[in-house]
Amino acid sequence: MPNLYRILLVCGTLCVSATQAQVVPAAGSRSQDHDHGAHQLAEFRVVTTGTRTERLFAEVPIKTEMLGADDFAAAMTFELGTAIELLNGARTEANCQNCGTAEIQLLGLPGNYNQILIDGLPLFTGVASVYGIDQVPTLVIERIEVVKGGGSSLYGPGAVAGVINLIPEEPFDTHTHVDTTLRDIDGSTTWQSQFASFLVSENGSLKGSVYGLHNDQADYDANNDGFSELVQRQNTTLGSYLWWTPTDHTRLTFNYQYIAEDRRGGDRLDVPEEYAQIAEALTTDYHWATLNWDQEISPELTFTASASAVKLYRDSFYGGTGEELIQPGDPRVDTIAKTFNGAPPDADAPPSSDAARAAALFGAPTDGTGGGSFHSFGYTDTTTWFFDASLSYAPTDLGNTGSHNFIVGVQSETEVLRDHQLDADGNFIAVLHHDSFRNTGVFFQDEWRVNNRWELVPGLRVDQANTLDHWVVSPRIAARWETSAELAWRINYSSGFLA
């Protein structure tokens, strides 16, 4: 049965916000020198996630929450997962002490119920989303926009609890950010260094950035039971952005990012994984590339197209010898004959017997559902393609109906997953998963300014996923009523689905 959800959330049903008339510095600006234009003053901050168009933060009909670089620095947070917890209704939940995974939860729903976007594109999808939230340098992020509640009418499958959009800093002058932190927990240290360098041509038509992060985290055993509460982890991130505006009506944006990571948790981290009682170890190579094209066809008509590719390779181990404690180099272990002290594996043998120890190392089944630690290795390979195109039409005259901004668009996503079980020598054992996911969606939205006080934003999206046997219709309607210059009311009904 498909996972199909429709939710009408209390905070999305009726939200009240007060808009102050005074002008104060924006939370998202790093300094007055490095953040000019629309993002410099709070009254003129621009957000894009709620409607897929640039809107003033104080006037957007869909309730949008925002975190900026100054918020990260004030709270001493340098990882995305930690920074998100500064927002009400958002938290980062640790799922596994052996592997150190964490997920961002919105409105109390698990992480697979929300979408994490990078500049509007879903680059953390599928397998990649499990370990990615602590690998993005915050120095390159200008702001984080969060829209809670169903967002599938604009962003497709997964946007049930909300959307988290990481907006990179676009430079207005040449400058560099550098940050190094050292944290210590009872002698267990974590060292992290990150940088972001920005370049701008003389006429401003060409802009670029290069950024990186390196993190070295030691394992931490809080209760001295021999099993880690914090994993041992080393990860390196390198990336680059390029913005090119060849004419006043054309703009191209390119981004490439590479992440390399090794992590391991469990017990006895100084021995090979197959001899640990419990271990999870991962070696990940993660690439993504995006290209975005914005074209102003006329003052009323704008075309936008985006394409992205994500490639992930991962070597993994999950398992161990359980209650059997076996030392590496023990001469009784015969990796050729698959025996311990000459005894073959027997899962029903008494604990600590030779046959039980042989089963802990070499036992069946060998289909990914259990068995010996020498059969608990794996290899995962995923490829994701994403395409998005939309047309925005803002007619200047539609009679006495107020002003409109119509958006119609199409999105397509394809993900292919291969997951194999291997033995300790890297030999193939079994296919665990060989799956593909495809989804195509068509959406429509009208930003309808009825008059100076009322604005309505109806929207509708229709999706077809190969994991569902029917089309999914996702409606949304939002309204904003400005009762005075200091007070505005918002009401929003939205829907979301999983596929």
Residue 416 confidence (pLDDT): 95
Residue 132 confidence (pLDDT): 62
**Mean predicted confidence (pLDDT) in 130-150:** 78
CA angle 429, 431, 434 (to 5 degrees): 160
Residue 481 confidence (pLDDT): 92
Residue 6 has pLDDT above 50, yes or no: no
Q: Binning pLDDT at 50, 70 and 90, where does residue 3 land?
A: very low
Q: Binning pLDDT at 50, 70 and 90, where does residue 326 land?
A: very high
Of 118, 65, 48, 11, residue with least CA distance to 445: 48
Residue bearing tokens 């074209």: 295
Helix, strand, or coil (residue 44): helix
DSSP 373-417: GGG-EEEEEEEEEEEEEEEEE--S-BTBS-EEEEEEEEEEEEEEE
| φ, ψ of residue 126 in degrees (nearest 5) | 55, -135
Residue 201 has pLDDT above 90, yes or no: yes
State pLDDT tens for residues 260-301. 999 999 999 999 999 999 999 999 999 999 999 999 999 999
Residue 35 has pLDDT above 70, yes or no: no
DSSP 314-339: EEEEEE--TT----TT-TTEETTTTE
Residue 11: its H or E element? helix 10-13
CA angle 65, 66, 71 (to 5 degrees): 135
d(CA 112, CA 230): 23
Are 27 and 66 in contact by the 8 Å Cβ rule? The answer is yes
Are 437 and 415 in contact by the 8 Å Cβ rule? The answer is yes
How many C-beta neighbours within 10 Å does residue 52 have?
A: 20
Residue 118 has pLDDT above 70, yes or no: yes
Residue 421 has pLDDT above 50, yes or no: yes
Better-scored residue on pLDDT, 469 or 25 = 469
Residue 17 has pLDDT above 50, yes or no: no
Are 226 and 234 in contact by the 8 Å Cβ rule? The answer is no
Structure tokens at 329: 């180099």
Lowest model confidence (mean pLDDT) among 182-191, 233-242, 304-313: 182-191
Helix, strand, or coil (residue 184): strand
Structure tokens at 64: 């949008």
Residue 29 has pLDDT above 60, yes or no: no
d(CA 398, CA 247): 30
Of 369, 368, 341, residue with least CA distance to 356: 341
Mean pLDDT taken over the chain = 84
Residue 410 has pLDDT above 70, yes or no: yes
Structure tokens at 249: 């009506």
Q: Binning pLDDT at 50, 70 and 90, where does residue 20 land?
A: very low
Give Cα 354 distance to the centre of its chain: 46
Strongest mean pLDDT among 44-53, 110-119, 367-376, 445-454: 445-454
For the chain, the C-alpha Rg in angstroms (whole number) is 26
Residue 7 confidence (pLDDT): 39
d(CA 11, CA 154): 19
**Mean predicted confidence (pLDDT) in 162-169:** 88
Q: Binning pLDDT at 50, 70 and 90, where does residue 77 land?
A: low
Amino acid at 450: V
Residue 26 confidence (pLDDT): 38
Residue 107 confidence (pLDDT): 81
Residue 40 confidence (pLDDT): 44
d(CA 278, CA 265): 8
Global pTM?
Answer: 0.85
Q: Which residues, 6+ apart, have CB-to-CB distance to 344 below 8 Å?
A: 338, 355, 358
Query: In the chain, helix, strand, coil percent, each to 5?
Result: 10, 50, 35
Are 385 and 368 in contact by the 8 Å Cβ rule? The answer is no
Residue 219 confidence (pLDDT): 92
Residue bearing tokens 């668009």: 409
Lowest model confidence (mean pLDDT) among 111-120, 413-422, 425-434, 455-464: 111-120
**Mean predicted confidence (pLDDT) in 164-180:** 91
Structure tokens at 385: 């393609």
Better-scored residue on pLDDT, 435 or 86 = 435
Beta-sheet strands, E only, within 218-249: 232-247
DSSP 102-160: EEEEETTB-GGGEEEEETTB--S-GGGGGT-TTSS-GGGEEEEEEEES--HHHH-TT-S
User: Residue 322, class by beta-carbon neighbours within 10 Å (0-12 exposed, 13-18 middle, 19+ buried)?
Assistant: middle
State pLDDT tens for residues 334-375. 999 999 999 999 988 999 999 999 999 999 876 666 689 999
Share above pLDDT 90 across residues of the chain, in percent, rounded to a whole number: 51
Residue 497 has pLDDT above 90, yes or no: no
d(CA 442, CA 447): 17
Residue bearing tokens 């009322």: 454
For strand 114-118 and strand 162-168, is the pairing parallel, antiparallel, or unpaired?
parallel
Q: Binning pLDDT at 50, 70 and 90, where does residue 445 land?
A: very high
Structure tokens at 454: 């009322």
**Mean predicted confidence (pLDDT) in 473-477:** 90
Residue 367 confidence (pLDDT): 61
Structure tokens at 233: 């982890």
Residue 131 has pLDDT above 70, yes or no: no
